[in-house]
Amino acid sequence: MLALASGVWALWWAEALVLSPLHHHRIGIRMWSHWDAPHFMSVVRDGYVATGRRALWIVFPPAYPFLVKAVALVLRSPIVSALVVSFVASVLAAWFLYRLVRIDADHEQAWRAVVLLFAFPTAYFLAAPYTESLYLLAATAAMYYARTDRYPRAGIAGAVATATRIPGIVIAPSLAIEALTSGSKLVKKLFWCAVTGAGTAIFLGVNWIVHRNPLYFLKVESGPPWFQHAVPPWVSLVNAFEQLAHLIPREPHTAYWTLFARLGAAVFAVVVLILGRKRLRPADQFFAWGSLVFFLAASRLISLPRYLLPVFPLYMVLADRTRSRRVFFALVIGGFAMQLFLFGRYSQGSWTF
């Protein structure tokens, strides 16, 4: 896992070294810090604040920035600490994904799932100062511990997931479904499933402490720069189609290809999950479909290709469906090609979800 993750990360650095002179950018650690990443670094340095532009960062749950802050006490640099946390979390997440698939399949299929994870077009976010790696680690660990009947650990891992990403709340019913299918010690298992809500409670508590409103983050998300609010899951898709049809993107800086990418990501996820309806356990299906519905229930699909990255059941299905080496290598090569294109843009500060 470590060798694969290190090799992929080295490939991203090599690409940035090649592209940087062409775009007159300085190469270095700062190439990772774009878009939401500086906001996380602001929370790491200053915590959550009640006034000014930095008050907007209350929308980011605390697990990732607080963990980075802890590492920064040793490494001193917030951005270096964030990269270390993301890299280590991505390696551990790959290990848990391997172990999870290995419960029901052979080594080759489990390894394919890991390779497909790192070949996902937006997988560079696993190394960036974003929450994807920590959230993937928490979600895969929670499900793995549930599958191996270690529910106290599953509950703690689930709490980390809900303290890392708001959609992490889908992990609680997912673990409960797994508990209901296992039979024994049901009350104890359901208790630990409920413990996963502790992460969300902590996030709401942070909102209360800073703004005296546990749901203040919803108010912030509805305004600039996000303009996000809850809608029926089909509305965001209809809006994206309408933008393409009328060629009037809501954001002037967003190219038309990103609209195609968002819609394509939604279609991709639906197709893969339909193909895996017999392969996935009920708990995995609930986590995947629940996550997708949660993402689509936001009024704008602006980051959907990135949000799908930690939805681990996708890789379980793809690994099962790529037993042919020709199909597997075609998917991996295509994924890495798209990934390098997107990371090239990201490293230069362009929007890539």
Q: How confident is the model over 181-206, as pLDDT tens digits?
A: 877 788 899 999 999 999 999 999 99
Q: For residues 136 and 89, is the Cβ–Cβ distance under 8 A?
A: yes
For position 23, what pLDDT does the model report?
46
What is the three-class DSSP state of 262? Answer: helix
* Cα distance between residue 319 and residue 116, in whole Å: 7
Which amino acid does the sequence have at 99? Answer: R
Residue 254 has pLDDT above 60, yes or no: no
Residue 50 has pLDDT above 70, yes or no: yes
Tens digits of residue pLDDT in 54-83: 899 999 999 999 999 999 999 988 999 999
Q: Can you read off the two tokens belonging to residue 327?
A: 């199909």
C-alpha angle 344-13-57 in degrees, rounded to nearest 5: 70
Question: For the chain, what is the mean pLDDT?
Answer: 87
* Cα distance between residue 309 and residue 281, in whole Å: 19
- Residue 76 backbone zone (phi > 0: left; psi -120 to 50: alpha; other: beta): left
Q: What is the mean pLDDT of residues 114-121?
A: 94
For position 6, what pLDDT does the model report?
58
Longest dimension (CA), the chain: 62
Residue 347 has pLDDT above 60, yes or no: yes
* Cα distance between residue 168 and residue 289, in whole Å: 13
Which of 114-118, 178-182, 234-238, 339-343 has the highest average model confidence (pLDDT)? Answer: 114-118
* Cα distance between residue 4 and residue 344, in whole Å: 20
Which of 10-19, 24-33, 81-90 has the highest average model confidence (pLDDT)? Answer: 81-90
Burial 195-224 (b: 16+ CB within 10 A, else e): bbbbbbebbbebbeebbeeeebbeebbeee
Report pTM: 0.93
Tokens 């990501």 belong to: 265
Residue 147 has pLDDT above 80, yes or no: yes
For position 22, what pLDDT does the model report?
46
Tokens 């895996």 belong to: 276
* Cα distance between residue 42 and residue 346, in whole Å: 20
